[in-house]
Amino acid sequence: MRDEREFVEYVRARMPWLRRLAYRLCGEWAGADDLVQECLVALYRHWRKAAAAESLDAYVRAILVHAYLAERRRPWARRVQPAADLEDGAVSGPGIESRVDVRAALARLTRGQRAVLVLRYWEDLDVAQTAAALGCSAGTVKSQTAYAIAALRRLLPNYTPGGGDAW
């Protein structure tokens, strides 16, 4: 089947990108691979529509993000959310400890807040691209970004980027 061949070719080519995005959202690889699989099954189901989209990557990103966000609405979803314990005290450098603390703080955000931060700052998408991936308006992205940063600030009160700048 021609559609299936094209699907397989696309998946093989973009698998590293998809796994990385899923990992950034989930925070752990097992959950990320499950999320990617769910996304790819949905992509298989809608392949023709996806292939005809203006940007196939944007379409797939939206599927993945929606699958990630949908997890929180499923009462039967019992995925373990990685949440490293936050250490008390200041985090002052870019070393391994600070990375753990930032990831642990991200894990304690809501899925929506985490998604908006990952897309805007880790995936480096602009507001419009983030809005398209989340399926909401640009204004909502801006407001949710502000809420997410505020939440992150509360979780990392002593973080000083580059060792000097304050939040």
Partner 1 sequence: MVKELFAALPDDPAPPLADGYLDEVLVRGRRSVRRRRLANAGVWAVVLLALAALVIPAVPLDARPAAPARHPSLPDRFAGYSLLTSSVERSAPGRVIAIYGYGNGETFNMFQPLVVGADADTYRRVSAMEERGGALGLLSPDGTRVLVGDDRGAAGDLVLVELTSGRRRTIALGAPVGVRLLAWSPDGRYVAYSAAPIGASDGAIDFVESEVLRHGTLRLLDVASGRIAELGSLSGVSTAAFAPDGARVAVQVAAQVHLLDLNGHEDGVVALDSGRGLVAGVGWSPDGRFLATAPWSGGSGHGSFLTDPGDVQFVPVAPQATPPGAVEDVVRMLGWRDAGRIVAATVDSPGGRLSLSEIDLGSGQRRVLSRFDTGRSCELGMQQCEVYDLQLAAGLLPDLAVRHAGSPDRGPWPWILRIPAAVLLAGALLLWWRLSRPRRAAP
Give the footprint of partner 1 on this chain (CB under 8 A): 4, 7-8, 11-12, 15-16, 19-20, 23-24, 29, 33, 37, 40-45, 66, 69-70, 73, 94, 98-99, 102-103, 112-113, 115-117, 121-122, 124, 134-136, 140-141, 144, 148-149, 152, 159, 161-162, 165, 167
- Give 57 or 93: the residue with its C-beta nearer to partner 1: 93
Cβ-based nearer residue to partner 1, 52 or 72: 72
Q: Considering beta carbons, is residue 55 or 139 the nearer one to partner 1?
A: 139
Q: How far apart are CA 146 and CA 161, in angstroms?
A: 18
Q: How far is the CB of 136 from partner 1 (least distance, A)?
A: 5
- Angle, helices 56-70/127-134, rounded to nearest 10 degrees: 60
CB of 88 to partner 1, least distance (A): 19
What's the angle, vertex CA 103, arms to CA 37 and CA 109, rounded to 5? 80
Go through the chain and tell me how many residues it has: 167
Task: Say how far apart CA 42 and CA 4 lie, in whole Å.
Answer: 13
| Residue among 89 and 163 whose Cβ is closer to partner 1 | 163
Q: How far is the CB of 157 from partner 1 (least distance, A)?
A: 14
Selection from 75, 43, 63, 76 nearest residue 133 by Cα: 63
Give the span between the Cα atoms of 50 and 19, in whole angstroms: 19
Q: How far is the CB of 122 from partner 1 (least distance, A)?
A: 4
Q: Give the H or E element holding residue 15.
A: helix 2-26
Closest CB to partner 1 among residues 16, 89: 16
How far apart, in whole angstroms, are the C-alpha atoms of residue 135 and residue 129? Answer: 10
Smallest separation (angstroms) from partner 1 to the CB of 49: 12
